[in-house]
Chain A
Amino acid sequence: MTEILNALALFSNFVLVPAIAYGSQLALGALGVTLVFGILRFSNFAHGDTMAFGTMLVILVTWWFQSLGLSLGPLPTALLALPFGIAGCAAFVLLSDRLVYKYYRKKKADPIIYLIASVGVMFVTNGVVRFIIGPDDQNFADGERFIIKARDFKTMTGLSEGISIKVSQGLTVVTMIIVVAALFWFLNKTRTGKSMRAYSDNEDLALLSGINPDKVVAVTWILAAALATIAGTLYGLDKSFKPFTYFQLLLPIFASAIVGGLGNPLGAIAGAFVIAFSEIMITYAYKRFAGYILPEDWVSGGLLQLLSTDYKFAVSFIILLLVLLFRPTGIFKGTGV
């Protein structure tokens, strides 16, 4: 019995907990991508760098607060800085819409032109971020580090495997739930949210019913910026902040959005957890896990790892290809194909 409990504890510690946290971060990122896709109808390649930009602002404000001696006790100071980061990031994104995308919207340009424009915005944002904070790792986490330490868990339960939960992981999941609940309330209950959904379903009909497109677009960008900043900050607290990693997050984020069905918010969340769980489960070495549940002489010498962690992207990519092959609209029906 304890063997199985140990195996479960081991699995939770190295797969379940990290995957839930990572899935929540991806979900927030994918929601941003899918919202922009639903309303503005293009895949925003700049989203990863928008995340980096928002996180950078949060980090700068965090440092400032830290130097003033402000803190949230056990929670990271970054939470206090988050609203400032969101405001700054929203301003930046609205400015980029004003300067870049608005012109193509007026011209009713092809989606691919938006895509290329977003590559340009990506370059500029990336340059701005590197210019201000540099290309290196930045650490901005403070406060308590763990909710439960592995050792405390062991003494509490008497098992030989411990579960540790980092504050950043707990915070990620709680924040994700609050943000997603608020977002769905906004989209389903408020007037602006309803007009956004109407605009996403049928642009012409929405315009005929007197919906103001400029307002819808502006609100979309603000939401996307807020989601990107929150996702980026949580990811940075959980792992670390490095501009290039945020660019690389683009692939799993897009994979999540497409797997769930582009343009479908619920799908984006489901897709994010599919991607996160497969990525971590496939790259986890099951040797010790198998040691607990299988008879001793069954366990061979190998690590029992399906794929080395170096090929993390390959997992999201393969899931993406499988979905494109077998169900191009995604798990939940999106506006794809």
Chain B
Amino acid sequence: MISGAKNVFLFAIMAALVVFVGQYQSWNLSLSILNLCLISAIMSLGVNIQWGYAGLFNVGIMGFAAMGGLAAMLISVSPVPEAWAAGGVGVIIGLFILIATVLAAMFSYRKMAKSPMRTFLIVLISVIGYFILRSVVDPATGAIEKVNPASTGYLGGLGLPIILAWPVGGLFAGAVAWVVGKITLGLRTDYLAIATLGISEIIVAVLKHEDWLTRGVKNVTGLPRPVPYEIELQKSEWFLSLSQRFNADPVTFSSIFVKLCYAGLFTVVLLIVLWLSEKALRSPWGRMMRAIRDNEVSANAMGKDIKARHLQVFVLGSIVVGIAGAMLTTLDGQLTPSTYQPLRFTFLIWVMVIVGGSGNNWGAVLGGFVIWFFWIEAEPLGLWFMDVITSGMAEDSSLKAHLIESAAHMRLMTMGLILLLTLRFSPRGLIPEKVGRH
């Protein structure tokens, strides 16, 4: 039970750090760090399912998170009837043409024998389908984007409660993962890495440039919230008496209260995902996945369909990442496609998983907390560090100005160093995977 005590101790330190920030910086900051820690923990659980259980290297986490973000927007904002009237029909016909093209291409792939003729036919079908699609969709999207471009200029969403978007975001991400996995799994691991890197860039490019769908870089702001608004809280009777009981300023307390509501929701999701992941890991299915990861050849000899299992686990992990992506957009209250950066959304999550402990769900959760905490706190720490280093220099020294100005870039270097040091000296992470009997 020594390792159990150590793990509790690690989580206790983490909790103490959050409390410390709350006490000495502010509770608002501490809670917003905590909320993002919770989301990061879910994302790193998703990556851990792919990497820790099955050894799949996915560098497209940003894209799957962005699919979640897209779902949050599409589910929650109200539809724009003028835009639907202007181009809705065209877009829907376009969708059917797309489906028909894909089906036709798949049909000829299945039904014909492998030959240059088949390849040619598939290319021909795709090209013709693409041109018909463009000729139908282009005028429609153009018309949609002209509808009051300053405030709408897009189709809008379904106007449903945003909580619904969390599972839907998972579905979106899972669907993309299925397509990518279908093509690249079974080839070298590097190819999956490159392909996921590519698909994530494309997804973000689509979000940035398809204005009729997402308003592009004009952003969709003011997504409805699953929790009360500060202004309404400050007006309501029960809230004022509550804040009086805690002897707190209603304005500050309302924003803390809202953050606590989010934290509650996120914790519930985290616990559900964690519980399911643990169940899966300890089930025969989990043992099979680890057997495949550790020795593909012998698992194959035992009759396990490696490609199908890999596809399954890849889709499952991406679903979890998609859910977390939807939650993140819900927390932000806006869809801002330009904020999707690979370093922040893909590689940082990787650092979380590796540092936390690949293959161990609790490790992934702890990694999400620790790394996000330091990602945020690295900036004040870096600034402080630079101040100390440069304290001996002259006030007007240009080197000093440069060093202090560049302190913000320290965090990338720090994260890289943490990743390299963990990989080298403690490759199994803070909470290592348990091997042996379960």
- B198 in the interface (beta carbon within 8 A): yes
Decide if A123 touches B193 in the complex (CB within 8 Å): no
User: Which residue of the partner chain, among A112, A131, A254, contacts B406 with CB atoms under 8 Å?
Assistant: A131
Decide if B202 touches A317 in the complex (CB within 8 Å): yes
Decide if B202 touches A314 in the complex (CB within 8 Å): yes
User: Which residue of the partner chain, among A43, A126, A326, contacts B190 with CB atoms under 8 Å?
Assistant: A43
List which A283-337 residues lie within 8 A (CB) of chain B.
302, 308, 310-311, 313-314, 316-317, 320-321, 324-326, 328, 336-337
- How distant is B183 from chain A, measured CB to nearest CB, in Å? 6
User: A188–B57 Cα gap in the complex (Å)?
Assistant: 35
- A255 in the interface (beta carbon within 8 A): yes
User: A126–B415 Cα gap in the complex (Å)?
Assistant: 11
Decide if B194 touches A258 in the complex (CB within 8 Å): yes
- B416 in the interface (beta carbon within 8 A): yes
Decide if B198 touches A320 in the complex (CB within 8 Å): yes
Decide if A122 touches B406 in the complex (CB within 8 Å): no
Total A-B residue contacts, Cβ distance less than 8 Å: 131
- B67 in the interface (beta carbon within 8 A): no
User: Which residue of the partner chain, among A43, A121, A320, contacts B420 with CB atoms under 8 Å?
Assistant: A121
User: Which residue of the partner chain, among A45, A123, A326, A337, contacts B119 with CB atoms under 8 Å?
Assistant: A326
Which residues of A are found within 8 Å of B202, using beta-carbon distances?
Answer: 311, 313-314, 317
Interface residues contributed by chain B, number (CB under 8 Å): 45
Q: A112-B55, A131-B410, A336-B188 are in contact. Are A122 and B198 (CB under 8 A)?
A: no
- A245 in the interface (beta carbon within 8 A): no
Q: Could you write out 22 A-B pairs with CB less than 8 Å apart? A: A111-B189, A112-B189, A116-B350, A117-B420, A119-B350, A120-B419, A121-B420, A124-B413, A124-B416, A124-B420, A126-B416, A127-B415, A130-B412, A131-B413, A262-B190, A310-B205, A310-B209, A313-B205, A321-B183, A321-B184, A324-B195, A336-B191
- How distant is A15 from chain B, measured CB to nearest CB, in Å? 19
The residues of A with any CB-CB pair to B shorter than 8 Å are 42-43, 45, 100, 103, 111-113, 115-117, 119-128, 130-132, 134-135, 247-248, 250-251, 254-255, 258, 262, 302, 308, 310-311, 313-314, 316-317, 320-321, 324-326, 328, 336-337
List which B361-408 residues lie within 8 A (CB) of chain A.
406
Which residues of B are found within 8 Å of A310, using beta-carbon distances?
Answer: 205, 208-209
- B201 in the interface (beta carbon within 8 A): yes
User: A125–B413 Cα gap in the complex (Å)?
Assistant: 7
Decide if A247 touches B419 in the complex (CB within 8 Å): no
Which residues of B are found within 8 Å of A336, using beta-carbon distances?
Answer: 187-188, 191
Which residues of B are found within 8 Å of A317, using beta-carbon distances?
Answer: 195, 198-199, 201-202
- How distant is B109 from chain A, measured CB to nearest CB, in Å? 10
Q: A121-B420, A317-B201 are in contact. Are A130 and B406 (CB under 8 A)?
A: yes
Which residues of A are found within 8 Å of B201, using beta-carbon distances?
Answer: 248, 251, 313, 317
Decide if A121 touches B416 in the complex (CB within 8 Å): yes
Decide if A123 touches B347 in the complex (CB within 8 Å): yes
- How distant is A222 from chain B, measured CB to nearest CB, in Å? 22
Bitwise, B138-181 to A at CB < 8 A (1) or not (0) is 10000000000000000000000000000000000000000000
- B18 in the interface (beta carbon within 8 A): no
Which residues of B are found within 8 Å of A127, using beta-carbon distances?
Answer: 409-416
- B343 in the interface (beta carbon within 8 A): yes
- B423 in the interface (beta carbon within 8 A): yes
- How distant is B282 from chain A, measured CB to nearest CB, in Å? 25
User: A116–B358 Cα gap in the complex (Å)?
Assistant: 12
Instruction: For A250, give the chain B residue with the smallest CB separation.
Output: B197
Q: Which 7 residue pairs spanning A and B have beta carbons closest together? A: A123-B416, A127-B413, A127-B412, A124-B416, A317-B198, A120-B420, A120-B419
Which residues of A are found within 8 Å of B119, using beta-carbon distances?
Answer: 326
Bitwise, B411-435 to A at CB < 8 A (1) or not (0) is 1111111011001100100000000
Sample of 16 more A-B contacts, CB < 8 Å, known A121-B416, A310-B209: A42-B190, A103-B424, A113-B427, A115-B189, A116-B423, A117-B423, A124-B413, A250-B197, A251-B197, A310-B205, A314-B202, A316-B198, A317-B198, A320-B195, A324-B183, A336-B187
Which residues of B are found within 8 Å of A121, using beta-carbon distances?
Answer: 416, 420
Instruction: For B405, give the chain A residue with the smallest CB separation.
Output: A134
Q: Which of B190, B208, B414 has the most CB of A within 10 A?
A: B190
Decide if B209 touches A308 in the complex (CB within 8 Å): yes
- How distant is B338 from chain A, measured CB to nearest CB, in Å? 12
Which residues of A are found within 8 Å of B88, using beta-carbon distances?
Answer: none
Q: A324-B183, A324-B187 are in contact. Are A251 and B413 (CB under 8 A)?
A: no
- B342 in the interface (beta carbon within 8 A): yes
- How distant is A26 from chain B, measured CB to nearest CB, in Å? 15
Decide if A123 touches B205 in the complex (CB within 8 Å): no
Decide if A337 touches B413 in the complex (CB within 8 Å): no
Decide if B409 touches A131 in the complex (CB within 8 Å): yes
Decide if A122 touches B416 in the complex (CB within 8 Å): yes
Decide if B184 touches A313 in the complex (CB within 8 Å): no
Which residues of A are found within 8 Å of B423, using beta-carbon distances?
Answer: 113, 116-117, 120
User: Which residue of the partner chain, among B194, B410, B416, B417, contacts A320 with CB atoms under 8 Å?
Assistant: B194
- B354 in the interface (beta carbon within 8 A): yes
Which residues of B are found within 8 Å of A42, using beta-carbon distances?
Answer: 190
User: A317–B205 Cα gap in the complex (Å)?
Assistant: 13
Which residues of A are found within 8 Å of B195, using beta-carbon distances?
Answer: 317, 320-321, 324
User: A115–B57 Cα gap in the complex (Å)?
Assistant: 9
- How distant is A2 from chain B, measured CB to nearest CB, in Å? 30
- How distant is A282 from chain B, measured CB to nearest CB, in Å? 11
Instruction: For B419, give the chain A residue with the smallest CB separation.
Output: A120
Instruction: For A123, give the chain B residue with the smallest CB separation.
Output: B416
Decide if B417 touches A134 in the complex (CB within 8 Å): no
Q: A255-B194, A302-B138 are in contact. Are A119 and B417 (CB under 8 A)?
A: no
Which residues of B are found within 8 Å of A115, using beta-carbon distances?
Answer: 57, 189-190, 193
Instruction: For B194, give the chain A residue with the smallest CB separation.
Output: A254
Decide if B417 touches A124 in the complex (CB within 8 Å): yes
User: A42–B351 Cα gap in the complex (Å)?
Assistant: 19
User: A51–B411 Cα gap in the complex (Å)?
Assistant: 21
Which residues of B are found within 8 Å of A135, using beta-carbon distances?
Answer: 409
Bitwise, B194-219 to A at CB < 8 A (1) or not (0) is 11011101100110110000000000
Which residues of B are found within 8 Å of A251, using beta-carbon distances?
Answer: 194, 197-198, 201
Which residues of B are found within 8 Å of A113, using beta-carbon distances?
Answer: 423, 427
